[in-house]
């Protein structure tokens, strides 16, 4: 990798410039991606073996488990994930290390040069830059997370991945993927390649049928949760079973019952391949060591935590759709069974999301919700609109100018037991919270 020149513009300036090359933030097609990759001499054909991950919920956590297990087995792992929470660098991990500003800037500048000012989305430019970096730095495997959908996503240019993984599919991004589960599943299943193993989480029947049909068309071996492999919680441990045998592992560090399912999906994926040998010890170290910020993440210190009532329990989750709300609510239910506390939700959402579908999951857990804006974010849902959705569910709601003010307002209430606080509704809000709290993802 070339050293940085002091004459080069800062990374932020380059990102701001390339973000203006297309009038829309999202425009799903592969044409522009194929054009720029050809001009870059096809870095997507020079990548290490690729595990491609699509789905609605759990993609990032599944990638985190895959990376942790593979690294525990002594392998060098690239990873491409999105969106980032605080810094763009979070999206690109080179052989285990987050990409530096200089290398990322230089890759974006090269993409900008060969693009020649033609229309291209910011995500396409970021993905092309990531491929350029992945092709230059040696690694054993690349974990490639779909940005949006699958069939027309910028990542869907790898012709023969090692495996295709599909996490749970739900209703989300209907303005781009369709307003039915069948349509959305069709877009997600678009990553399936001929003859490449497909590993799926448990799906709703309509989505599973679409995946099965696509796998059959592509003659791709299908390994489905609940059919070909199983994961369960027994005595607080993760028990995984498939035709090769049983693994009895310690519980994931990431909190929530759904994390057992995400870890199981990662294990099933790695047990379908024969390229790498992974022993039981690596599976256990990976499952217990995986980290993924803003997914039921406990915040124990920081500037925002200091604004909350003393001894309050603060959790952060980026869930933003009905299914994301369901798993967060289930996790809170588990916490309530262990130690009962009054629950308060601090929520900010994007304007395109189904606020009632998300919030309905918490109706039986709390009646106290504080709505906040998402700072410096286009198309964020106005707090008064979000408050109307809360009221429609018969829940108590108030508004605050920001998360800090919401936390501060709770100090004026006389709690017999310090409250449990969940900050949720958007990854954009989660990123803002991490930055404000001084908790940078690494």
pLDDT at 117 > cutoff 90: yes
| pLDDT per residue as tens digits for the range 139-159 | 999 999 999 999 999 999 999
| DSSP states along 365-434 | T-SEEEE---TT-TTBPPHHHHHHHHHHTT-EEEE-SSHHHHHHHHTTS--SSPPEEEEES-HHHHHHHH
**Does residue 2 surpass a pLDDT of 80?**
no
The percentage of residues in the chain with a pLDDT greater than 90, rounded to a whole number, is 93
Higher-pLDDT residue of 174 and 342 is: 342
Tell me the pLDDT band of 6, cut-offs 50, 70 and 90: low
- The CATH superfamily holding the domain 297-437 is Mur ligase, C-terminal domain (3.90.190.20)
pLDDT at 25: 87
Q: What's the whole-model pTM score?
A: 0.94
CA angle, residues 319, 324, 325, in degrees to nearest 5: 90
All CATH 3.90.190.20 domain ranges of the chain, comma separated, are 297-437
- Please, which pLDDT band fits residue 3 given cuts at 50, 70 and 90? very low
- Range list for CATH 3.40.1190.10 in the chain: 11-289
Whether the Cβ atoms of residue 143 and residue 91 lie closer than 8 Å to each other: no
Give pLDDT tens digits for 307-319. Answer: 999 999 999 999 9
What mean pLDDT is reported for the chain? 95
pLDDT tens sequence across 215-230 = 999 999 999 999 999 9
Asked if CATH classification 3.40.50.740 holds for the domain at 11-289, the reply, yes or no, is no
């Amino acid at each position: 990798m070339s050293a940085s020149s002091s004459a080069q513009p800062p990374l932020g300036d380059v990102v701001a410039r390339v973000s203006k090359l297309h009038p829309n933030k999202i425009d799903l097609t592969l044409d522009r991606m194929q054009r720029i990759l050809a001009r870059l001499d096809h870095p997507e054909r020079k990548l290490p073996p690729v595990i491609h991950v699509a789905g609605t919920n759990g993609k990032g956590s599944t990638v985190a488990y895959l990376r942790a297990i593979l690294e525990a087995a002594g392998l060098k792992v690239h990873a491409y994930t999105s969106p980032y929470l605080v810094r763009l660098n979070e999206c690109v991990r080179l052989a285990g290390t987050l990409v530096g500003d200089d290398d990322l800037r230089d890759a974006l500048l090269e993409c900008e040069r060969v693009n020649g000012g033609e229309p291209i989305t910011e995500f396409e430019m970021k993905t092309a830059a990531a491929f350029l970096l992945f092709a230059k730095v040696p690694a054993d495997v690349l974990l490639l997370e779909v940005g949006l959908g699958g069939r027309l996503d910028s990542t869907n240019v790898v012709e023969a991945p090692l495996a295709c993984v599909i996490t749970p599919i739900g209703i989300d991004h209907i303005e781009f993927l369709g307003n039915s589960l069948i349509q959305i599943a069709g877009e997600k299943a678009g990553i399936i390649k001929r003859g490449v193993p497909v590993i799926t989480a448990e799906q709703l029947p309509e989505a599973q049928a679409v995946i099965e049909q696509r796998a059959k068309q592509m003659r791709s071996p299908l390994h489905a949760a609940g059919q070909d492999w199983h994961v369960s919680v027994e005595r607080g441990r993760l028990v995984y079973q498939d035709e090769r045998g049983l693994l009895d592992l310690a519980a994931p560090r990431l909190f929530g019952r759904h994390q057992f399912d995400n870890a199981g999906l990662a294990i099933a994926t790695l047990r379908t391949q024969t390229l790498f040998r992974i022993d039981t010890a690596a599976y256990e170290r990976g499952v217990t060591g995986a980290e993924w910020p803003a997914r039921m993440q406990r915040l124990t210190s920081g500037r925002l935590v200091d604004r909350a009532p003393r001894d309050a329990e603060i959790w952060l989750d980026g869930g933003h759709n009905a299914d994301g709300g369901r798993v967060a609510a289930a996790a809170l239910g588990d916490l309530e069974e262990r130690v009962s506390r009054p629950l308060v939700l601090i929520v900010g959402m994007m304007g395109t999301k189904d606020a009632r579908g998300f919030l309905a999951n918490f109706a039986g857990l709390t009646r106290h919700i504080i709505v906040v804006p998402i700072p410096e974010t286009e198309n964020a849902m106005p707090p008064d609109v979000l408050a109307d959705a809360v009221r429609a569910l018969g829940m108590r709601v108030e508004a605050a100018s920001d998360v800090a003010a919401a936390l501060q307002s709770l100090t004026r209430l006389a709690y017999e037991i310090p409250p449990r606080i969940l900050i949720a509704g958007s990854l954009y809000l989660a990123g803002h919270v991490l930055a404000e709290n001084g908790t940078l993802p690494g």
